[in-house]
Chains A and B, each alone.
Chain A
Amino acid sequence: MSQRIEFKVGLFITITTVLIMASIGYVFYQKGIFARVHTYTLSSKTGETLAEGMPVVYGGFTIGRVSSLELDEHGTVLIRFKIPERYNRVVRADSTFILEKPLIGSPRIVVTTVNLTGPPLSPAAVPEITVSSDINEIIKRAQPIVDKADRIMGSVAQITENLADPQGEMRRILRDAQKVTSRLSKQESLLEMAVGDPHSVRAIHETLGKLRDIATRADTLLVAAETLTGRTGEQIYGQDGVLPLVRAILHDLQGKLAKLNVALDNINRISGDVAGSTRDLQVLRSELDAVIIAVGDLVAEVDRKIPFKDKPEIKLP
């Protein structure tokens, strides 16, 4: 009896111990606990939001953790982090390290490596960490862009008003254009037409100037957005972020404005081809409609992503 109990107890302890050790060992192995670990050091001007145990991420995967934080004699914060052997290939000499503070979740250090075959990062090297802006700062940076977008919207609204107003500039342009075509059908010359209605010609030029101004502003806005894209992180500037969306819409707007320009140029040039001029005017009208829709979409998307209603002002969290 006693020996049978001893055997059963021994068997149970052996099997369960093997199972537990195998499970723990498997987790330890997969987590790289037994693997050779490489330690690297980064520097930062501030230790704010840095913490021991903070994850080091590459391509969305946690590849290591911050092991210690130190303040050197120059007041620089030294961040030491450990990477297991199997992930060491992603840490290269040209890797960039960004301290990211996402909207939701804990801060993390994001490693970006363009050339994975480049020379490895020397353990003695101390690259500086780039601090990605947090939400407040991002919103601050986004503010001028939104302001510009608002100005564009204002200008487009003015165009829309002109279109809607029977006495507005655009209606007059269109009426004048019709006059032009009718005159052209009567085979009157361009000079006769221009001299016949000097006000209409001036209006077209003014509108053209206004649209050029919009195009220039949109361009400036794009440049600003692109500058930001280079410097900031995925969260706001990623594929589904706010700014790429604005950027795409603005691209569209720019393209449409360019087409509008060509159309107006065509009116300006007014050739002897009456049918062509009429088509240009139709294009002008439909393109203006498209601009209005595109900008409307811009407003809706910006509204959805960064809520502002009556005032073109971002509410900071």
Chain B
Amino acid sequence: MISVIETVGRSALNSSRSFRQTATFTARILLRLFALRTYNSASRTVFINQFYFTAVQILPLFLIVAVIFGSLVNGMAFQAIKDLGLSDYLGRLLMGFVVTEVSPFVTVLLIALRSSSAINAEIAVMKVNHELYTLESFGIDTLDYLFVPRILSGMLTMVFLSSLFALVVLAVGLLVSSVIFGTGVDAYLDTLLRSASVLDMILVLLKSATFGFFITLIPIGQGLNASEDLTSVPVAVLNGMVKVFLAIVIIEVLSSVVRFI
């Protein structure tokens, strides 16, 4: 009985320690994000490389996924809308669900699977290889050089790619709706505009940026938790990815709470 209580206590303490560490790390990163001295030629290079690997390199695959997904979702949803005689809800479905919910969610899953895991492994390997000590010995702040550019890149990638995803899905929606409903461009745009809310658009961009922040911050933090043992790398990646998934769910829930309450 006592051991059970001890286990519960240990687990609670670990969770609270982990949460505190993440909160502290978040605060430090946020402070550096807004500090001008963080941005120098070296961190710019890191940012450009990271952005290239996260956003540009994935682009062909991403666009294909967006087109396939857009065709599927639009096709199914539009057909259901037509069958139920709810064509008035077309705009609301596209703007209120596809653009504001589905686009950031699919994008964040894709980026987390591809780049968060890579960042997590990269930082863990750098830790194991003593490369973080190299940076320290040359007076290079890891926050400025390694972390902030990656996090900034993650945030911008999420904003750009989820917007692009939404635009592609809406463009596919035009094709699908013209086939199913025989809707013209003007009528389609008018339907979208009637359901478009400026506040929703701002919230989606903020949500995407928040996703981007945490799906890079958490892997970095977990990568730093690796020991000097090579076998700690997969453990760090595993822990990091689980926490990234939890963060995605929490952000999704919180954004829904903000939107609907």
A and B touch in the complex (CB under 8 A): yes
Q: Using CB atoms and an 8 Å cutoff, list the residues of chain A in contact with chain B.
A: 2, 5-6, 8-9, 12-13, 16-17, 19-20, 23-24, 27-28, 30-31, 33
Query: Are A9 and B52 in contact, CB atoms less than 8 angstroms apart?
Result: yes
- Chain A residues within 8 Å of B55, by CB: 9, 12
Query: Are A20 and B163 in contact, CB atoms less than 8 angstroms apart?
Result: yes
**In the complex, what's the smallest C-beta–C-beta distance from A64 to chain B, in angstroms?**
14
Query: Are B198 and A19 in contact, CB atoms less than 8 angstroms apart?
Result: no
Given A13-B160, A19-B167, A23-B167, A33-B198 contact (CB < 8 Å): yes
Query: Are B163 and A19 in contact, CB atoms less than 8 angstroms apart?
Result: yes
Query: Are A30 and B193 in contact, CB atoms less than 8 angstroms apart?
Result: yes
Alpha-carbon gap, A23 to B201, bound state (A): 10
Given A19-B167, A20-B160, A23-B167, A12-B201 contact (CB < 8 Å): no
**In the complex, what's the smallest C-beta–C-beta distance from A274 to chain B, in angstroms?**
60
Alpha-carbon gap, A20 to B193, bound state (A): 15
Alpha-carbon gap, A133 to B114, bound state (A): 58
User: What are 25 A-B contacts with C-beta separation under 8 Å?
Assistant: A5-B49, A5-B56, A9-B48, A9-B52, A9-B55, A9-B56, A12-B55, A12-B160, A13-B51, A13-B156, A16-B160, A16-B164, A19-B164, A19-B167, A20-B160, A20-B163, A20-B167, A23-B167, A24-B201, A27-B193, A27-B198, A27-B201, A28-B198, A31-B196, A33-B198
Any A CB within 8 A of the CB of B230 = no
**In the complex, what's the smallest C-beta–C-beta distance from B164 to chain A, in angstroms?**
6
Total A-B residue contacts, Cβ distance less than 8 Å = 44
Look across to chain B and name the residue whose beta carbon is closest to the beta carbon of A8: B56
Look across to chain B and name the residue whose beta carbon is closest to the beta carbon of A27: B196
Q: Mark B33-72, 1 if CB is under 8 A from A, else 0.
A: 0000000000001001101100110010000000000000
Q: Mark B149-170, 1 if CB is under 8 A from A, else 0.
A: 0000000100110011001000
Given contacts A2-B45, A19-B163, A31-B196, 7 further A-B contacts (CB under 8 A): A5-B49, A9-B56, A12-B59, A13-B156, A16-B160, A16-B163, A20-B160
- Partner among A8, A19, A23 whose Cβ is within 8 Å of the Cβ of B52: A8
Could you tell me the dominant secondary structure of chain A's interface residues? Answer: helix
Query: Are B51 and A9 in contact, CB atoms less than 8 angstroms apart?
Result: yes
- Partner among B48, B167, B201 whose Cβ is within 8 Å of the Cβ of A5: B48
- Chain B residues within 8 Å of A33, by CB: 198
**In the complex, what's the smallest C-beta–C-beta distance from B99 to chain A, in angstroms?**
10
Look across to chain A and name the residue whose beta carbon is closest to the beta carbon of B48: A9
- Chain A residues within 8 Å of B56, by CB: 5, 8-9, 12
Look across to chain A and name the residue whose beta carbon is closest to the beta carbon of B59: A12
**In the complex, what's the smallest C-beta–C-beta distance from B95 to chain A, in angstroms?**
10
- Chain B residues within 8 Å of A24, by CB: 201
- Chain A residues within 8 Å of B159, by CB: 20
Considering the complex of A and B, which 9 residue pairs feature the smallest CB-CB distances, nearest first?
A16-B160, A20-B163, A5-B52, A12-B56, A27-B196, A30-B193, A8-B56, A9-B52, A9-B48
Alpha-carbon gap, A257 to B138, bound state (A): 105
**In the complex, what's the smallest C-beta–C-beta distance from B152 to chain A, in angstroms?**
12
Given A19-B163, A19-B164, A6-B48 contact (CB < 8 Å): yes
**In the complex, what's the smallest C-beta–C-beta distance from A290 to chain B, in angstroms?**
36
**In the complex, what's the smallest C-beta–C-beta distance from B174 to chain A, in angstroms?**
13
Query: Are B198 and A31 in contact, CB atoms less than 8 angstroms apart?
Result: yes
Query: Are B193 and A31 in contact, CB atoms less than 8 angstroms apart?
Result: yes
